[in-house]
Amino acid sequence: MKAATLRAFLSVHSWMGLLAGMALFIAFYAGAITVFTHELSTWQVAPAVIEKAPNDPVDAAQSLLDTVIATHPQVADAFLLLLPGDHGPIPRLYWYGAQADASGGMRQYQAAPDGGLLELPQRVGFADFLYDLHFTAGLPRVAGTYLFGVVSVLYGLALVSGVVLYAPVFFKDLFALRVGANLKRLWQDAHNLVGMLSLPFHVIFAWSGAVLCLGVLLLAPFQFLVFDGKLMQILEPDFELAPHVAPAKRAAPL
């Protein structure tokens, strides 16, 4: 490969890595803690709403469902019921319907210690802050999500250019850690070793980040050219954002 081509790839690798790296530092550290978002949420609300896990989780879940539907009959159209387990020690019901959306989004219910019905807060501080930080870097949700989509694309460019640069000496220098007076060479060897060994994970992070943050833009042509602006209405039931419409079982008038 010509020297000018290598210098071009080196510039791309360096600048894309620097630009993406500052945002990725936030995303990675917040994301590592966000893995435990359910445990953090349970820990934050536990003192006020949890006494102990029920003896029979299924009966407790059924009792919660019956209580919620008796209080809010419209919940029966679309809800998510979580049994005790990884998401917490007691059953929890999530509802996202038209009335819930009008009041600010998804509602969460669980049984109160006295046997009544307890509606949980929509956000629980630290856990939701970290979750938003992972996706938006603390910026407004839409702007931050698109920003991280662009960052993921830059991240991918840095990976591709890095592989192109390192491919010619891959087998010779992969495990070379030249310790000596040249500290810059040692850091470069460590960078190459860690980067190549963790490359599959980096590819997954870059690809998934771009798809999750920018994927909705891929739907835009279908939204306006195929579905006449009604694509999101069609998709809402599949994402449990709206109740499924029961079939009328009769032909529409012609």
User: The domain containing residue 81 runs over which residues?
Assistant: 52-112
Query: Across residues 186-206, what is the average pLDDT?
Result: 86
pLDDT greater than 50 at residue 74: yes
Dihedral class, residue 99 (left if φ above 0, else alpha if ψ from -120 to 50, else beta): alpha
Is the residue at 7 inside a domain? yes
Please check the confidence at residue 129 and state whether its pLDDT lies above 80: yes
Do residue 170 and residue 138 come from a single domain? yes
Q: Which residue has the higher pLDDT, 211 or 192?
A: 211
Residue 103 has pLDDT above 50, yes or no: no
pLDDT at residue number 155: 92
Q: What angle do CA 55, 56, 62 make, to 5 degrees?
A: 135
Query: 51, 2 in Cβ contact below 8 A?
Result: no
Alpha carbon distance 128, 132 (integer Å): 6
Q: Are residues 67 and 186 in the same domain?
A: no
20 with 74, same domain: the answer is no
Angle at 129 between CA 124 and CA 135, to 5 degrees: 130
Both 135 and 188 in one domain: the answer is yes
pLDDT of residue 53 exceeding 70, the answer is no
- What's the structural domain count of the chain? 2
